[in-house]
């Protein structure tokens, strides 16, 4: 299963390098949902509030399109790591701009985790040192498989999985963020994980049938 996916992505990457516009668009389209979840997780963690990460994803996609010739990898893992590096840099810039704007508007600093602590321009990919919560969770299968399954869940399921598994918030913190009781969030999270596992199994079966 994973091997077939790797072959598919390697084929798309090589075709895109040869100038196949359709394969290039397909390659980027397959990664948009993945970037959306990663962007949302990072931005919400740093700013400690809900932020629409679509602008960050769009900026990252545009930059990746522009600099595609600089990508030297061949595998799915190398492709995602390259996209993450671009997104990390853009996210750090986004948070800095947000902080400056907020300080000018309110005359005080907005609480957040300084992105310089984790993502410095030119710094090694985080996975090379210690996996981030996002990387640990997405490694359940392959990153794109988990992301595709997450995209199939309801908004409430997506949010509770995001808060618990990606941002590593406690149930109390997740309950406060969602405006629900702790028992309600615990039950929602268990149902979301079961649904996620079920969705991944169904997608695996479809993948095997296609092959």
Taking residues 169-197, report their average pLDDT.
92
* pLDDT higher than 70, residue 132: no
* pLDDT higher than 60, residue 45: no
The pLDDT confidence band at residue 190, using thresholds 50, 70 and 90, is very high
Domain spans of the chain? 2-130, 152-211
The pLDDT confidence band at residue 9, using thresholds 50, 70 and 90, is confident
d(CA 74, CA 57): 22
The pLDDT confidence band at residue 121, using thresholds 50, 70 and 90, is very low
pTM: 0.61
Taking residues 72-99, report their average pLDDT.
84
* pLDDT higher than 80, residue 80: yes
CATH fold of 152-211: Arc Repressor Mutant, subunit A (1.10.10)
d(CA 194, CA 104): 45
* CA dihedral of residues 142, 147, 153, 159 (deg, nearest 10): 120
């Amino acid at each position: 299963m994973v091997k077939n996916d790797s072959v598919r992505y390697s084929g798309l990457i090589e075709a895109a390098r040869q100038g196949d516009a359709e394969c290039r668009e397909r390659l980027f389209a397959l990664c948009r949902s993945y970037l959306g979840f990663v962007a949302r997780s990072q931005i919400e963690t740093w700013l400690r509030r809900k932020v629409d990460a679509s602008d960050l994803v769009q900026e990252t996609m545009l930059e990746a399109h522009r600099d595609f010739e600089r990508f030297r990898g061949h595998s799915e893992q190398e492709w995602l790591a390259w996209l993450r590096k671009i997104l990390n840099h853009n996210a750090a810039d986004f948070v800095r701009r947000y902080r400056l704007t907020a300080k000018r508007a309110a005359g005080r600093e907005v609480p957040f985790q300084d992105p310089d602590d984790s993502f410095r321009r030119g710094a090694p990919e985080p996975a090379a040192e210690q996996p981030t919560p996002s990387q640990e969770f997405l490694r359940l299968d392959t990153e794109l498989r988990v992301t595709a399954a997450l995209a199939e869940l309801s908004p409430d399921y997506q949010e509770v999985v995001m808060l618990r598994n990606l941002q590593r918030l406690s149930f109390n913190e997740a309950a406060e963020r969602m405006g629900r009781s702790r028992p309600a969030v615990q039950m929602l999270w268990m149902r979301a994980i079961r649904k996620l596992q079920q969705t991944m199994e169904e997608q695996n079966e479809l993948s095997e049938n296609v092959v």
